Amino acid sequence: MTLPLDGITPHGGQLINRIATPAERQEFLDQADYLPRVQLDDRLLSDLEMIAIGALSPLTGFMEKADYEKVVTEMRLANGLPWSIPITLSVDADGAEYLKEGEWVRLDDPQGRFVGVLELTSKYRYNKAHEACQVYGTDDLKHPGVKVLYNKGAIKLAGPIWLLQRYPHPLFPQYQIDPTQSRALFKEKGWNTIVGFQTRNPIHRAHEYIQKCALETVDGLFLHPLVGTTKDDDIAADVRMRCYEIMLDRYFPQDRVILAINPASMRYAGPREAIFHALIRKNYGCTHFIVGRDHAGVGDYYGTYDSQIIFDEFEPGELGIVPMKFEHAFYCKRSQQMATTKTSPSTPEERIHLSGTKVREMLRRGELPPAEFSRPEVAAELARAMNIATYEI
């Protein structure tokens, strides 16, 4: 099933829709008690949803072995289309034994509710160490993405999926904008060029700087914070969203920005995930994508600009979305404004650098980030969330 296209062509040429119609949903519900079950965790539930709404076009389900192996080794689907992250459903070998190829499998959410179905076309084994080293660049279990991978089952299930119904997001229903809707909004606003921005952290001055630099050259900005599963020590999604609401209300031209949620979970795959994030925003209708310092990175596993360099591994125009590469922004004491080494004459001693990790550490110590790093209203919101007793605006 495909949908009408507006604006930039989705990855693979068609925007996928795997949300069951009311009649299809009822047909599956009537079979609910007779279907074998697989229970999804929150990450897999996010993948199911992303496939169904077309955010992972051209995927119609969990990857077959040929697609999986080519993605892991070459960052391409079996048909040669660029794709950097495997989208798969893994189960324990004992559970897979009772699942028969050619049959429907009931997919339940973590609470045991019937949310989707898988048309099981194949089952296959895979090499976790190989996937870890290729996709994450390491097999170190301290890496959060690798840890998740090694906790998965030994058998992958492949085949098309159906999501039974699209429910409002429990926390952010007003920001639940699917690719069909974002494309319609861009068209309604007359935007021909749209830059997407991905983050799992609260917005800070460096984010604001590169977003506004990008906004100088395009028609609109699509702020698309990730609200799926992240590391335990990341700031909660509701706090991050409130920070964005504050920033949009006070510091951005509201007619040139759309805030929406990205329901995906983080992989922390660094360079590979930067490509993945770009392709997702292409499916939402973005023509450009911001790639900053250590995009989707964690710890010291990736170089500062590896997530920018990886885009050069593809032919110009092959990805179908333009990466906008930014250097690490900082507050320049000499010019008293945000800058990068491209625009600032300052010495290293005259620059204030703070990462999201350092800010989280400050907040846990009961300290507020300085005004050079965070707008005071955002710092106050973070203080409330971290139960810091004293804060000022």
Q: Which of 17, 201, 262, 283 is catalytic?
A: 201
- Separation between Cα atoms, residue 306 and residue 243, nearest integer Å: 28
Q: Measure the CA–CA gap between 281 and 327, rounded to whole angstroms.
A: 21
Strand partners, 323: 289
Query: Which of 200, 205, 281, 360 does the annotation list as catalytic?
Result: 200
**Catalytic residue status for 201:** yes
- Residue environment code for 223-249, b if the CB has 16+ CB neighbours within 10 A, otherwise e: bbbbbbbbeeebbebebbbbbbebbbe
Q: Distances from the Cα of 253 to the Cαs of 88, 115, 187, 261, 308, in angstroms? A: 40, 39, 18, 19, 28
Helix (H) or strand (E) holding 272: helix 271-284
User: Would you list the DSSP string of 320-367?
Assistant: SSEEEE-PPPEEETTTTEEE-TTT----GGGEE---HHHHHHHHHTT-
38 neighbors 105 (Cβ within 8 angstroms): yes
The neighbouring-strand residues paired with 119 are 104
User: Which positions are annotated as active-site residues?
Assistant: 200-201
